[in-house]
Amino acid sequence: MTDLATMRESALTRIEEAQDAAALESLRVELLGKQGSISGLMKTLGKMSPEERQSEAPKIQGLRSDVADAIAAKKDALDAAELERRLASETLDLTLPAPQAPKGSVHPVSQVMDELAEIFADLGFSVATGPEIEDDWHNFTALNMAETHPARAMHDTFYFPDVDSEGRRMLLRTHTSPVQIRSMVKQGAPIRIIAPGRVYRSDSDATHTPMFHQVEGLVIDKDINLGHLKWTLETFLKAFFERDDIVLRLRPSYFPFTEPSVEVDVGWQDVNGRRVLGGDGDAPGHGWMELLGSGMVNRRVIEFAGLDPDEWQGFAFGVGVDRLAMLKYGMDDLRAFFDGDQRWLDHYGFSPFDQPTLSAGVGASA
């Protein structure tokens, strides 16, 4: 039988002399690994007679325990020595800022929605919402859109196979105008609302997507005229783009839900390859850009809402929220708004702490 006392003394001496963790691990494998010398002794117990096993097993088990304990103690001592060495040699500058943790950002569409709500709240408007799945009466008929109007066609509008309890076809709303009808029916007049939200049309290219965001405004009161409309739009656009030189041009147009109807153009100029709104569009180096549609609410629409058009008049307007974001913050492709590209969001997103206020300026640094 191997001299266990000699083996024990040799093993403990070598463990004590180990200079680092690597050397200690090598000793552990040599002594206690599957092919280790002490593990080999454990295997010989199976070949012994019962009498020999009863005599030798406690000695071998004791040797194995002593070596394992010595290795564990040495490992603790080496770890403590390494920690002391690192504490003595390494320094930590507690005045440095902590590493910045990943953080989310506010999407430009959400940011512009908040800016619009802030501006119009100051003008006395409230925010109204409505369902995105609409019936064709609220989406078309109540807005004076005839059965033959092109917008009702399948290639322009997303229809559902369902009908409501009154037999009206269901669809994804093509504008937020149905919110105007629902608001007038529910609360009557006078009324001042904006209706922001998602809308859907069968269209897709660099400046159009099947789903986009729109905000519409509605004012119904007594003795309302186009002058009120122009002042409201000028005040809104000057606050939104944070420029006092916004100049508007109103052109006659046609919308079934307004009469008279006007397209609103805004003056702009090219600055370093980017369209910047501001200035008179007829001035040298400037031009006019069509921005939104508007007009006086059609008498038939007021009647559909259950109001008397001889007593109540009003104006309405609508503009794409995504387009406003593109013009203000410099994006050039609408499709990128909905790709979910983290790099794009990191570049154009806003801090959740940059809440738009009129006192500080509704814009925020992206």
Side-chain half-sphere CA neighbours of 204 within 13 A: 8
Residue 287 has pLDDT above 60, yes or no: yes
Q: How many CB atoms lie within 10 A of CB 135?
A: 23
| Alpha-carbon span 314 to 21, nearest angstrom | 84
Please tell me the predicted confidence (pLDDT) of residue 359. Answer: 56
Residue 51 has pLDDT above 60, yes or no: yes
Residue 36 has pLDDT above 70, yes or no: yes
Closest C-alpha to 215, from 269, 177, 184: 177
Say how many residues make up the chain. 366
| Alpha-carbon span 219 to 175, nearest angstrom | 17
Largest CA distance in the chain: 119
8 A C-beta contact, residue 220 and residue 189: yes
The verdict on whether residue 259 carries a ligand-binding annotation is yes
Average pLDDT estimate for 307-325 = 95
Residue 268 has pLDDT above 70, yes or no: yes
Integer CA distances (angstroms), 195 to 55, 114, 159, 258, in order: 92, 12, 22, 17
**pLDDT tens profile 237-257:** 999 999 999 999 999 999 999
Residue 41 pLDDT level (bands cut at 50, 70, 90): confident
Please tell me the predicted confidence (pLDDT) of residue 297. Answer: 97
Checking 205-213 for CB contacts under 8 A at 24+ apart, the result is: 206/332, 206/333, 206/334, 206/335, 207/323, 207/334, 208/334, 209/322, 209/334, 209/335, 209/337, 209/338, 210/158, 211/338, 212/320, 212/321, 212/322, 212/334, 213/109, 213/113, 213/320, 213/321, 213/322
pTM for this one? 0.69
| Type of residue numbered 70 | A
Residue 365 has pLDDT above 60, yes or no: no
8 A C-beta contact, residue 212 and residue 322: yes
Residue 151 pairs with which residues in a beta bridge?
none
Percent of the chain with pLDDT over 70: 95
Please tell me the predicted confidence (pLDDT) of residue 357. Answer: 67
What is the CA 117 to chain-centroid distance, rounded? 18
8 A C-beta contact, residue 326 and residue 286: no
Task: Parse the chain into domains and list their residue ranges.
Answer: 1-89, 108-348
Residue 364 has pLDDT above 60, yes or no: no
8 A C-beta contact, residue 112 and residue 328: yes
Report whether the peptide linkage leading into residue 260 is cis, meaning its omega lies within 30 degrees of zero.
yes
Q: Name the residue with higher pLDDT: 153 or 231.
A: 231
Task: State residue 175 phi and psi, 5-degree precision.
Answer: -160, 170
Range with the poorest average pLDDT among 43-57, 187-201, 212-226, 262-276: 43-57
Q: Considering the chain, what is the average pLDDT of its residues?
A: 88
Highest CATH level, class, for 108-348:
alpha beta
**pLDDT tens profile 145-156:** 988 877 777 668
